[in-house]
Amino acid sequence: MARRSRRRGWLADIFLGSIVAGAGLSLGRDSYKLVKKNAASAVVIAIAAFFIAGTGYAVWDMTRGHRRGPIATVLITYVFNCLMIGVSFGITYTFLSENEAKAPNPMSPMVVFGVTVAIQLTLAAIGAFIGLRQRSRRLLQWDVESHNERFLSTNGFRHVGGDNNTLIAPDGNELQLEDERLDALVFKVLGRRSVRAKITLDPHGRMLTYVAP
């Protein structure tokens, strides 16, 4: 079989070969050959990949959920990430265009633009997929934390401070966390040997009831 000729710019050829042959396999093989041939190209690929992948990171960050305030949500979650997407798109298009201009048979600007869009949409889809998969777990975790904070405050529990996980219960007992079970938090009652108290939990970890010693 005749060797496939490098008709296009080297970076564009890597991405196009990956799209045709399947993401990952061709990209890894071609990148390895290029890096092996010229170590300086490794730096170029690393820098390009960092900026080009900005779209994937930005979409992931926008979809995974945060506990930011309104201002931080607008400025960081949306404005900053949208700027990152714009920069990533611009750098990808510029990088592909410059390399195509040096090729013997360069692609037209419209084809380069189409390849840029395809790359960016692929990265955005990957970022959204990962972010949305993480979102439900993150939102549940924050909901459980908020519920447990309200439970402790409403029922009169106080934390004594420090790193010893000790609470002052509504009945005045000092409780030190001893065991974290799926259905309950078990506490030693300080000053009373072999006496235990517990706070029952639902399947997600929300505190339900305090069982006094």
Q: Same domain, yes or no, for 42 and 136?
A: yes
Average pLDDT (176-195) is 85
What would the 3-class secondary structure string for 72-102 be? Answer: HHHHHHHHHHHHHHHHHHHHHHHHHHHHHHC
Answer yes or no: do 90 and 136 share one domain.
Answer: yes
- Indicate if 79 and 135 belong to the same structural domain: yes
List the one residue out of 174, 167, 200 whose CA is nearest residue 189: 174
Coil, strand or helix at 200:
strand
Give pLDDT tens digits for 146-177: 888 888 889 888 877 666 667 888 888 888 88
Taking the C-alpha atoms of residue 25 and residue 13, their distance in angstroms, rounded to an integer, is 14
55 and 160 assigned to the same domain: no
Pick the last residue of a domain from 142, 165, 192.
142
**Full residue range of the structural domain in which residue 56 is found:** 10-142
Tell me: do 164 and 134 sit in the same domain. Answer: no
What is the per-residue pLDDT for 27?
42
Residues 94 and 30 in one domain: yes
Segment 59-107, tens digit of pLDDT: 999 999 888 888 988 998 899 999 999 988 988 888 888 877 777 777 7
Residue corresponding to tokens 């990952």 = 24
Alpha helices by DSSP H, 22-165: 25-37, 39-52, 54-63, 70-72, 81-101, 109-154
More confident residue, 188 or 100: 188
Average the pLDDT over 19-46 and give the result. 49
- 147 assigned to some structural domain: no
pLDDT interval class at 5 (50, 70, 90): very low
Between 84 and 30, the higher pLDDT residue: 84
Do residues 176 and 206 both lie within one domain? yes
Within a domain: 203 = yes
Give the pTM. Answer: 0.63
Residue 148, domain member (yes or no): no
- 195: pLDDT strictly greater than 80: yes
Q: Give me the chain's average pLDDT, please.
A: 77
Final residue in a domain of this structure, among 142, 163, 178: 142
Residues 119 and 82 in one domain: yes
- Give me the pLDDT at residue 185, please: 87
Predicted pLDDT of residue 35:
52
Please indicate, yes or no, whether residues 128 and 84 belong to a single structural domain of this protein: yes
Give the domain-ending residue among 85, 113, 142: 142
- Helix, coil or strand: residue 148: helix
Q: Are residues 26 and 113 in the same domain?
A: yes
* Per-residue model confidence as pLDDT tens digits over 117-140: 998 999 999 999 999 999 988 888
Q: Which of 163, 202, 167, 198 is nearest to 182 (CA)?
A: 202
Q: How many domains does the chain have?
A: 2
In the structure, what pLDDT confidence band is assigned to residue 44 with cuts at 50, 70 and 90? low
Work out the pLDDT band at 58, boundaries 50, 70, 90. Answer: very high
| Statement to judge: residues 74 and 159 lie in one domain | no
In a domain, residue 170? The reply is: yes
| Same-domain status, 68 and 117 | yes
Give the pLDDT score at 157: 85
